[in-house]
Structure 1
Amino acid sequence: MNNTQQTGYVYSNEILQYRFSNQHPFNQMRLKLTTELLKDLGYLKPEHIIQPRIATDNELSLIHSFDYIQAIRRASHGILNDSEAKKYGLDGRDTLQFRMMHKHSARIVGGALNLVDKIMDGSITNGCHLGGGLHHSLPGRANGFCIYNDVAITIAYLIKKYCLRVLCVDTDAHHGDGTQWSFYTNDQALIYSIHETGKFLFPGSGHYTERGNEQGFGYTVNIPLEPYTEDDSYLEVLNQTLEPVVASFKPDIIVSVHGVDIHYLDPLTHMNCTLDALYEIPYKIKQLADKYTDGKVIMFGGGGYNIWKVVPRAWTHVFLALIGEDQQNGQLPEKWLSKWSPYATCDLPNTWEDEKLDYQIIPRRQEISAINMKHATQVLSWFK
């Protein structure tokens, strides 16, 4: 391990309060499971922990409209009327109103901003905020399980307070529409998203022809992948397209979103990747940060809805990549397994390797890979 590498890890028990309902697929229990796994491995120490704070209205308004922030406040107290709930995206099954939602959502944003300030004052070099990554929220509307867009606010904060050029790398299976539209006409941020095509998946955006507008034209890069994309094709496309984009843009810092819902066991997507790809992604991004931004990188969580078999093992590797530790193999810590087995809704995995008991090889893999590479080649042509 590189002992000179200082890494921050945003966490507090209060972050777990961002919760729509007990039945809702967005479950911050996955953050607790990951945090406990890192502690039981002996890698996450008290000195890594960065406590979140409640972001101010001025900070939230770097992205969100004043009336939207006030509507979230009213929803927190259960006094938002039906027409307002519809207007602000709080009337569906996905993004529900819950008590104290303003405070719990603003705390996720404040955690990200505390992490930014620590990196910028030189206390740490990099960090992760696995409880964040709420990239669907729009400036005036809740969307896709997301109330305040901590990713977009972090980018805007880096641009406004520190005058930085920011590259966002979003590897969540769902396109980060809220982040994209927030910077669609901006040339100080480049938003790169590799995701399952919107043909069959929420939010339906992220076509490779979406490239930005006005002075932001060329600063949005979308790489949609076919449903049932497997590890080899995913990593081939990522490896061929990401570095040319980074080298061309020359960012001062990288912000990345590590949704782990490209995994074949994720209940909300149609991708066919395994932990092998999910383990590799943060190491790739860390390597690019070391090469292009003096190691400055902030890694967010994001999607990931198989909270027992996928998220803890995958997200553990986000932190391990940041501290310079190798990928894990062999047995999971017995302490962690015995602690959480009684609560798990399935048999917990015992090792770091994917069991792949029900993994199906897709017959159309060559065709899928060819379509993915066609889009990647199209994008690459813009950066030559």
Structure 2
Amino acid sequence: MKKDSVFIYSDSLLSYRFSDHHPFNQHRLTLTLDLLKELGAIKADDIIAPRMASDEELLLNHERSFIEAIKLASSGNLSKEKAEGFGLGTEDTPIFKGMHEASAGLVGGTLTAVDYVLQGKANHALHLGGGLHHGFPGKASGFCVYNDSAVAIKYILEKYNARVLYVDTDAHHGDGVQGSFYDDELVCTLSIHETGRYLFPGTGNVNEWGQGNGYGYSFNIPLDAFTEDESFLESYRSAFAEIAEYFKPDVIVTQNGADAHYFDPLTHLSSSMKTYRGIPKLAHELAHTYCDGKWIAVGGGGYDIWRVVPRAWSLIWLEMIGWPNVSGPLPENWLKRWQPKAPVSLIDQWEDPVDMYNPIPRKKDIEEKNKQTVDRALYLVRQQLERINQKNGQV
């Protein structure tokens, strides 16, 4: 019997952990799942265990030498000199025991989500352990070893022959995924992120439109620092809706980093839970408009794991299953369980405090600049849609 939505998870996903002090902390998966359970919004048969990605599957996007290096690093047998050439042993992406198995497990989770949706077992699939969008074919980067989304999209192309629209709302540019499909007309990538003037990885400019056969299938909306909900959502809705109409995908893959929130310690945007309600809502709508509901969602960044990520990521699942809009207090048992262990005071409501931050003095300037950025980024889309509309009007 086909399920509406599946949630990909097992405790094995928690083994992707660089160190006790590293900001990338998969304990946020535990907190999110526990919040959904306390809400009564997820059942045992909604949860599907991820499989491990095989070497052959990893090779769809990664170089063999890189995979072998990760295996050596996993067992402590990769020299420091060789590690640096593969982006390993850095402050961002240190080596940890079992790195290969943990990383291949994250990829396997996204592949599990793909198979459930594209084999017709579910309309939607959520794999919050995935979303490692900075990984490159031969190099780890930015907390990311293997790039699960890039592997999964190449898997979709090879196994299911489907056109993929990848939409990334992490505060950091989805450079690894964009790079893997920069010359591919069967994959359209859209990344909405904080401008690289202030933030890693420094890429994702509006004029990065792809190359060769992929020209016109790569889009970036670099938002100004301190962008708030209204401008973020306006940029997202306009870009996503127009690109979906232009590309007409067979399946939508969304990366759902939760680090554009005001509380996130690594970024400079000013989103609240209003943004994280709006992001999955539009993805869900457009998946049913263009893809017969085929929507695969992964996680990504998010470094305030106590106050932000559990609420933001829960909203993706709640949107997927059509749960009525939640508001007001969080489940009391969840707050009682985790507040003693949290280093900060938990927010006890689904909404953020209205006085979360002081008014942004450049609000109007930021909004206008973001509108101009969207217009520039979508120049090719709007040209193409105008030609299509003119052609249709002549028929």
Give the TM-score, by structure 1 length.
0.98
User: Partners in 1 of 2:269 and 2:325 — Cα distance?
Assistant: 23
* SS in structure 2 at match of 1:6: strand
User: Partners in 1 of 2:89 and 2:332 — Cα distance?
Assistant: 43
**Structure 1 range deviating more: 83-92 or 60-69:** 83-92
Q: 2:306 aligns with which of 283, 297, 308?
A: 308
Superposition deviation, residue 287 in structure 1: 0.6
Q: Which runs of 5+ in 2 are unaligned?
A: 383-395
Residue 31, structure 1, aligned to residue 29, structure 2: yes
Superposition deviation, residue 91 in structure 1: 2.6
The one-letter code sitting in structure 2 at the alignment partner of 1:294 is D
Which residue number corresponds to residue 164 of structure 2?
A: 166
Q: Deviation string for 1:167-216 (max 9, x for gaps)?
A: 00000000010001011111110000110010110000000111111101
- Contact in 2 for aligned 1:54/1:107 (Cα 8 Å): yes
User: Partners in 1 of 2:82 and 2:145 — Cα distance?
Assistant: 15
Which residue number corresponds to residue 95 of structure 1?
A: 93
Superposition deviation, residue 379 in structure 1: 2.5
Superposition deviation, residue 7 in structure 1: 0.5
Q: Deviation string for 1:1-22 (max 9, x for gaps)?
A: xx98611101001101100000
Which residue number corresponds to residue 280 of structure 2?
A: 282
Superposition deviation, residue 114 in structure 1: 1.3
Which residue number corresponds to residue 246 of structure 1?
A: 244
RMSD: 1.2
Which residue number corresponds to residue 325 of structure 1?
A: 323
**Structure 1 range deviating more: 51-60 or 319-328:** 319-328
**Structure 1 range deviating more: 348-357 or 196-205:** 348-357
Aligned identity (percent) is: 47
The one-letter code sitting in structure 2 at the alignment partner of 1:215 is N
Which residue number corresponds to residue 229 of structure 1?
A: 227
Superposition deviation, residue 381 in structure 1: 2.7
The one-letter code sitting in structure 2 at the alignment partner of 1:383 is V
Residue 18, structure 1, aligned to residue 16, structure 2: yes
* SS in structure 2 at match of 1:368: helix
- Contact in 1 for aligned 2:31/2:310 (Cα 8 Å): yes
- Contact in 1 for aligned 2:228/2:271 (Cα 8 Å): yes
Which residue number corresponds to residue 144 of structure 1?
A: 142
- Contact in 1 for aligned 2:162/2:250 (Cα 8 Å): yes
Superposition deviation, residue 356 in structure 1: 4.5
Q: Deviation string for 1:217-265 (max 9, x for gaps)?
A: 1110001100000111111111222111001101000000010111011
The one-letter code sitting in structure 1 at the alignment partner of 2:88 is L
User: Partners in 1 of 2:3 and 2:272 — Cα distance?
Assistant: 29
- Contact in 1 for aligned 2:235/2:371 (Cα 8 Å): yes
User: Partners in 1 of 2:10 and 2:354 — Cα distance?
Assistant: 33
Q: 2:188 aligns with which of 190, 194, 209?
A: 190
User: Partners in 2 of 1:160 and 1:188 — Cα distance?
Assistant: 11
- Contact in 1 for aligned 2:51/2:105 (Cα 8 Å): yes
Q: Deviation string for 1:61-115 (max 9, x for gaps)?
A: 1100000000000000011101111100013100010000000100011111111
Residue 383, structure 1, aligned to residue 381, structure 2: yes
Superposition deviation, residue 357 in structure 1: 4.3
Superposition deviation, residue 335 in structure 1: 1.4
Which residue number corresponds to residue 156 of structure 1?
A: 154
Q: Deviation string for 1:354-382 (max 9, x for gaps)?
A: 02444121110111111110011122332
- Contact in 1 for aligned 2:74/2:100 (Cα 8 Å): yes
Superposition deviation, residue 310 in structure 1: 0.5
**Structure 1 range deviating more: 272-281 or 310-319:** 272-281
User: Partners in 2 of 1:79 and 1:157 — Cα distance?
Assistant: 30
The one-letter code sitting in structure 2 at the alignment partner of 1:382 is L
Q: Deviation string for 1:104-137 (max 9, x for gaps)?
A: 1000111111111111221111110011100000
- Contact in 2 for aligned 1:5/1:323 (Cα 8 Å): no
* SS in structure 2 at match of 1:7: strand
User: Partners in 2 of 1:5 and 1:107 — Cα distance?
Assistant: 23
Which residue number corresponds to residue 385 of structure 2?
A: none
- Contact in 2 for aligned 1:279/1:327 (Cα 8 Å): no
User: Partners in 1 of 2:163 and 2:301 — Cα distance?
Assistant: 25
User: Partners in 1 of 2:175 and 2:283 — Cα distance?
Assistant: 21
User: Partners in 2 of 1:208 and 1:377 — Cα distance?
Assistant: 9
The one-letter code sitting in structure 2 at the alignment partner of 1:198 is G
- Equivalences for residues 59-98 of structure 1 within 5 A: 59-98=57-96
User: Partners in 2 of 1:75 and 1:357 — Cα distance?
Assistant: 46
- Contact in 1 for aligned 2:2/2:120 (Cα 8 Å): no
The one-letter code sitting in structure 1 at the alignment partner of 2:11 is N
Which residue number corresponds to residue 364 of structure 1?
A: 362
Q: 2:210 aligns with which of 195, 205, 212?
A: 212
Q: Which runs of 5+ in 1 are unaligned?
A: none
* SS in structure 1 at match of 2:254: strand
The one-letter code sitting in structure 2 at the alignment partner of 1:162 is Y
Which residue number corresponds to residue 393 of structure 2?
A: none
